[in-house]
């Protein structure tokens, strides 16, 4: 088994991952889903020129000389509320009372805000001048008819949902979510409601993976824990193959009871087993049985976590048709000097923060592959390059943002 680079492993995996399909959902079900169409507006927003203020629509030229000492008097001829249009046309010497969002009446060139006026019977005194177009929001200034407002591959956020509502879209084409079977392996692993004795530990990976899958847009299918026998592994993997994708943890290393590789090999073809030049998470099994991609992740919890983030999350994003497959990476200033041996790319669970116009990054405590606490405290993965052995305090490093 040769050692391969992280990028090579990822490229290889992604070349075997396919988009699942399209479905229509209502807008209220669309948060977090991935658009499979460029969304083009059929309407202008706002539909008409309208007022940005509560005040008076008028002709700017009429009040050019207005000051608090020498106000200009205009006759108020009409009132326009939001949702209504003016009946008449504004003439010189006239104003119309207008509310925020109400359409600008024909003839008006500006809106003077209420605070710059005083009432005088059926007239107003304008205490300030206005420029042409002042306080007027132009038709289509937000969105123009024919404009593409959202691109295919966008993961929908609350603001995107708002944007789709602005243009009146109640149904949206999004990608289908893949089902992802999760199989934990190991004679020592227990369900959370069992009572551990001696060397037994809880199935943390199974639940963490379910959460990772969910946050990536997949549908986790929890299949429990397989014993370290080929028989049990093959039986449970057979179940797992009913899902679109399979993720297992543990049993892919070089131990006597690491039987995931041999079990999968007995079940089908096209299995690839790698030592990936990374830490944590060196052993990785990937392949397909039939059309179903299978990820055999390492068992140590931090290795499982990091391997998912590097390989499974980008794959799920590809299945979902996302435009960005990998985590966003920023350059951040290191707050203390770090060391490692050459030959593997290290991912350090780290805390990234933004202050005074730059990112800084600090490793989040001890970095063992069994020390999940550091990952739990982290919001980023610092990338310590393959051959580097030292990065000094104050230097810039790449950090993957996990949030
Ligand atoms: P393995 O790759 O099966 O040799 O497992 C490596 C380490 O990860 C061992 O210490 C296992 O006990 C631990 N481990 C494996 N699976 C899990 C799991 N589902 N939850 C927590 N720890 C696990
Ligand atoms: Mg094991």
Q: In this predicted model, what pLDDT tens digit does every residue of 344-370 receive, in sequence order?
A: 999 999 999 999 999 999 999 999 999
Percentage of the chain surpassing pLDDT 90? 97
Task: With respect to residue 83, please indicate whether it lies within any of the assigned structural domains.
Answer: yes
Biggest alpha carbon–alpha carbon distance for the chain: 96
How many Cβ atoms from other residues are within 10 Å of residue 335's Cβ?
A: 15
Closest CA to 80 of 62, 120, 53, 47: 53
Closest CA to 183 of 225, 152, 212: 225
Among 281, 298, 319, give the residue marking a domain's end.
319
What is the pTM (predicted TM-score) of this model? 0.94
Q: Which ligand is nearest to the CA of 254?
A: 1
Clarify whether residues 54 and 132 are in a common domain: yes
300, 302, 304, best to mutate for ligand 1 pocket (most atoms within 8 Å of CB): 300
pLDDT tens digit sequence for 61-87: 999 999 999 999 999 999 999 999 999
Clarify whether residues 311 and 394 are in a common domain: no
pLDDT band at 271 (very low <50, low <70, confident <90, very high): confident
Residue 367 belongs to domain spanning: 329-401
pLDDT of residue 268: 86
Percentage of the chain surpassing pLDDT 70? 99
Q: How remote is the CA of residue 256 from the centroid of ligand 2, in Å? A: 9
Clarify whether residues 30 and 161 are in a common domain: yes
Which ligand 1 atom minimizes the distance to the CA of 251?
Answer: 3
Question: In CATH, what number is assigned to the domain containing residue 171?
Answer: 3.90.105.10
400: β partners: 329, 381
Question: In CATH, what number is assigned to the domain containing residue 314?
Answer: 3.40.980.10
- Determine if ligand 1 sits within 6 Å of the CB of residue 232: no
Clarify whether residues 198 and 271 are in a common domain: yes
Q: Which ligand is nearest to the CA of 299?
A: 1
Q: Tell me the helices (H) and strands (E) count for the chain, helix number first.
A: 8, 29
Average pLDDT over every residue of 146-161: 98
Alpha-carbon separation of residue 19 from 33, 149, 163, 169, 213 (angstroms): 14, 23, 26, 24, 16
Report the distance separating Cα 17 and Cα 138, nearest Å.
46
Cis peptide before 241 (omega within 30 of 0): no
Cis peptide before 272 (omega within 30 of 0): no
pLDDT of residue 270: 78
- Is pLDDT above 70 for 1? no
Report the distance separating Cα 270 and Cα 213, nearest Å.
24
- Determine if ligand 1 sits within 6 Å of the CB of residue 283: no
Cis peptide before 382 (omega within 30 of 0): no
Report the distance separating Cα 60 and Cα 136, nearest Å.
12
Clarify whether residues 118 and 72 are in a common domain: yes
Average pLDDT over every residue of 206-228: 98
Structure tokens of 166?
């602005």
Clarify whether residues 128 and 210 are in a common domain: no
Report the distance separating Cα 31 and Cα 156, nearest Å.
5
| DSSP symbol at 275 | E
pLDDT band at 186 (very low <50, low <70, confident <90, very high): very high
Average pLDDT over every residue of 25-41: 98
pLDDT tens digit sequence for 103-145: 999 999 999 999 999 999 999 999 999 999 999 999 999 999 9
Which ligand 1 atom minimizes the distance to the CA of 255?
Answer: 4
Structure tokens of 307?
């391997």
Angle 300-301-306 (CA atoms, 0-180°, nearest 5)?
100
What is the total count of domains within the chain? 4
Residues around ion ligand 2, judged by CB within 5 A, are: 186, 250-251, 299
Q: How remote is the CA of residue 190 from the centroid of ligand 2, in Å? A: 12
- Determine if ligand 1 sits within 6 Å of the CB of residue 304: no
Report the distance separating Cα 55 and Cα 319, nearest Å.
53
Among 137, 159, 188, give the residue marking a domain's end.
137
pLDDT tens digit sequence for 40-59: 999 999 999 999 999 999 99
Task: With respect to residue 324, please indicate whether it lies within any of the assigned structural domains.
Answer: no
Instruction: End-to-end CA distance of the chain: give it in Å, rounded.
Output: 34
Task: With respect to residue 1, please indicate whether it lies within any of the assigned structural domains.
Answer: no
pLDDT band at 340 (very low <50, low <70, confident <90, very high): very high
Return the SS3 of 186.
coil
Clarify whether residues 165 and 184 are in a common domain: no
pLDDT band at 157 (very low <50, low <70, confident <90, very high): very high
Q: How remote is the CA of residue 300 from the centroid of ligand 2, in Å? A: 9
Q: How many CA atoms lie within 13 A of 233 on its CB side?
A: 25
pLDDT band at 403 (very low <50, low <70, confident <90, very high): confident
């Amino acid at each position: 088994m040769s050692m391969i680079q992280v990028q090579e492993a990822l490229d290889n995996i992604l070349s075997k991952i396919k988009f699942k399909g399209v479905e229509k959902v209502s807008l209220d079900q669309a948060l977090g889903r991935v658009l499979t169409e460029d969304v083009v507006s059929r309407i202008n927003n706002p539909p008409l020129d309208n007022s940005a203020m509560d005040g008076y629509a008028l002709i700017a030229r009429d009040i050019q000389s207005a000051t608090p000492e020498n106000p200009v008097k205009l006759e108020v001829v009409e009132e326009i509320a939001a949702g209504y249009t003016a009946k008449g046309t504004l003439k010189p010497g006239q104003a119309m009372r207008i509310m925020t969002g109400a359409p600008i009446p024909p003839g008006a060139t500006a809106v003077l805000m209420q605070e710059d006026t005083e009432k005088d019977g059926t007239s107003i005194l304008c205490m300030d001048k206005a420029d042409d177009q002042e306080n007027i929001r132009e038709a289509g200034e937000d969105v123009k008819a024919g404009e593409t407002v959202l691109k295919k591959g966008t993961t929908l956020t609350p603001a995107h949902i708002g944007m789709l509502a602005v243009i009146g879209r109640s149904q949206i084409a999004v990608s289908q979510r893949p089902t992802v079977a999760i199989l934990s392996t190991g004679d020592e692993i227990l369900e959370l409601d069992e009572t551990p004795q001696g060397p037994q530990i809880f199935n943390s990976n199974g639940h963490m993976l379910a959460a990772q899958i969910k946050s990536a847009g997949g549908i986790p299918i929890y299949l429990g824990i397989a014993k370290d026998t080929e028989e049990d592994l093959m039986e449970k993997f057979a179940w797992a193959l009913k899902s679109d994708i399979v993720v297992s943890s543990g049993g892919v290393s070089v131990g006597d009871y690491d039987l995931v590789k041999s079990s999968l090999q007995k079940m089908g073809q096209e299995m690839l087993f790698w030592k990936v030049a990374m830490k944590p998470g060196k052993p990785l099994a990937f392949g397909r049985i039939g059309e179903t991609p299978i990820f055999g992740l390492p068992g140590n919890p931090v290795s499982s976590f990091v391997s998912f983030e590097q390989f499974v999350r980008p794959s799920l994003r590809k299945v979902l048709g996302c435009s960005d497959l990998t985590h966003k990476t920023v350059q951040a200033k290191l707050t203390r000097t770090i060391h490692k041996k050459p030959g593997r790319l290290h991912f350090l669970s780290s805390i990234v923060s933004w202050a005074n116009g730059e990112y800084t990054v600090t490793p989040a405590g001890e970095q063992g592959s069994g020390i999940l606490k550091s990952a739990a405290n982290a919001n980023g993965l610092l990338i310590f390059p393959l051959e580097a052995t030292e990065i000094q305090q104050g230097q810039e490093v790449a950090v993957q943002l996990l949030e």
